[in-house]
Amino acid sequence: MRAGRRLLTTAAVAGAATGGAVLGWLAERRAAADMRDGSDPEAVELARAVTGRPRQVTAADGTRLHAEILGPDDAPAIVLAHGYTMTQDAWHYQRRDLSEEFRVVSYDQRGHGASAEAETGDYTMDALASDLAAVIERCVPPGERVVVAGHSLGAMSALALAKEHGELLGPRVAGLALVSTSGADIIGGVLGGAAAVATNALPAVADALLPRLVGMPGPLGARPSDFTFLLIRAISLSPNASPAHVAFTERLSMGCPSAVRAALIPAFTSLDLTDAARGVSVPALVISGDLDRLTPPSGARQLAELLPDARLVELQGVGHMAPLEAHEAVTAHLRAFARRVLTLPDAR
């Protein structure tokens, strides 16, 4: 009898827990529907495309890259490299605001956005570094020094540039701004973030979909849904992120071909740019959000310690998509850093 009562009690508790999870999930879905109703004023801003003068860049292996240039032709240059599954549109606010003072060069990484998929199937960090070097050489006049700013995968590309094309540091690259990134153990950070999300979501569903978010073959879905919205918010942004920023990130991520997402995973699993960081010969700026689950701030701190000349900025209440979530702060830090390393006056 006691065993039977224990069994019934266990079943009741499990049922209540499951029911509570389901009710919680339904409440979250209703909240997601309310959040993505378009009333967020940032949705209006993000609907205004920021476009520049197009420039076609041919990578060393023949891959066609799409770049754009905004701002005055005679202004000092900042080159922006976007993150995994994003496009240059992820720098929406920085492209809009920094182009008032700088010549902003941004591009779509190979296989992303308007750039072609890798001609030879090469998605290694060496290839991404080579692409960044090609963009600098093609889009910035010879002899001119630039600041390179990368977010997530784009920052890893910048570190790989320092490793594979170190001759550019100094003569061509005056400084590196590394946003929401790490120099090693990226998969560990991703899995740690996934585990944190799974503890607060339906475990079976999270386990089924999280691998797709980090690049396994298979689309996230034919179109955005309440679930993809909530999952993107939980992993890539902070709980209080603007709904428009979540939806924007969701749209960009779902637009990345699944084959490209999958092809980049080996680059993450084998990533170790610690030696490259130690050898960076120009000033660096490291920006991290304290709620970043994909590249936790501990990794940013370690990276800043490795870099010979680095300043670390930790943004409070901000997740992985800092250029969107904390766009005013990120833009201000990039502007100040570029002015300093390019020896510009405080304002033009």
CATH of the domain at 146: 3.40.50.1820
Sign (positive or negative) of CA dihedral 191, 193, 199, 204? negative
Q: How many domains does the chain have?
A: 2
How many whole angstroms from its chain centre is CA 216?
A: 17
* DSSP class of 183: S
Domain match, 67 and 173 both: yes
Strand partners, 315: 289
Secondary structure, 3-state, 185-227: CHHHHHHHHHHHHHCCCCHHHHHHHHHHHCCCCCCCCCCCCHH
The answer on 25 and 53 residing in a single domain is no
Q: What is the DSSP letter of 292?
A: -
Is residue 103 included in any domain, yes or no? Answer: yes
Same domain, yes or no: 50 and 180: yes
Question: Do 64 and 169 reside in the same domain of the chain?
Answer: yes
**Residue 131 placed within a domain:** yes
Q: Residues 152, 294: one domain?
A: yes
Per-residue pLDDT of the chain (348 residues; tens, 9 = 90+): 555 555 444 444 444 443 443 444 444 444 455 455 567 889 999 999 999 999 999 999 999 999 999 999 999 999 999 999 999 999 999 999 999 999 999 999 999 999 999 999 999 999 999 999 999 999 999 999 999 999 999 999 999 999 999 999 999 999 999 999 987 655 444 444 444 444 444 334 433 444 444 444 444 445 677 888 888 999 999 998 999 999 999 999 999 998 999 999 888 877 788 899 999 999 999 999 999 999 999 999 999 999 999 999 999 999 999 999 999 999 999 999 999 999 877 644
**Residues with Cβ < 8 Å from 226, sequence gap 6 or more?**
28, 29, 32, 33, 36
Residue 166 corresponds to which tokens in the numbers above?
């170190």
Please state, in angstroms and rounded to a whole number, the distance separating the CA atoms of residues 181 and 210: 19
User: CA-CA distance, 15 to 2, in Å (whole number)?
Assistant: 19
Q: Are residues 59 and 28 in the same domain?
A: no
Structural domain including 13 reads 2-35
Residue 196 included in any domain: no
24 and 65 co-located in one domain: no
Query: Are 20 and 161 members of one domain?
Result: no
Q: Is residue 198 part of a domain?
A: no
- The SS3 call for residue 315 is strand
Whether 162 and 52 share a structural domain: yes
Q: Are 224 and 200 in contact (CB under 8 A)?
A: no
Residues 71 and 25 in one domain: no
Pair 233, 320: CB distance under 8 Å: no
Question: Do the domain assignments include residue 192?
Answer: no
Over its C-alpha atoms, the chain yields an Rg (Å, rounded) of 21
Whether residue 87 is contained in a domain is answered as yes
What b/e readout covers 160-192, taking b as 16+ CB neighbours within 10 angstroms? Answer: bbbbbbeebbeebbbbbbbbbbbbbbbeebbee
- Backbone φ, ψ for residue 34 (5° rounding): -65, -40
Q: Are residues 11 and 55 in the same domain?
A: no
Q: Which residue is it, tokens 């570029």?
A: 338
N residues, the chain: 348
Residue 300 lies in a domain: yes
- Tell me, yes or no, whether 134 and 51 share the same domain: yes
Say if pTM beats, i.e. exceeds, 0.75.
yes
Instruction: Classify residue 297: in a domain, yes or no.
Output: yes
* Cross-strand partners of 183: none
Contacts of 152 (CB under 8 A, 6+ apart): 82, 83, 84, 86, 179, 180, 181, 294, 295, 320
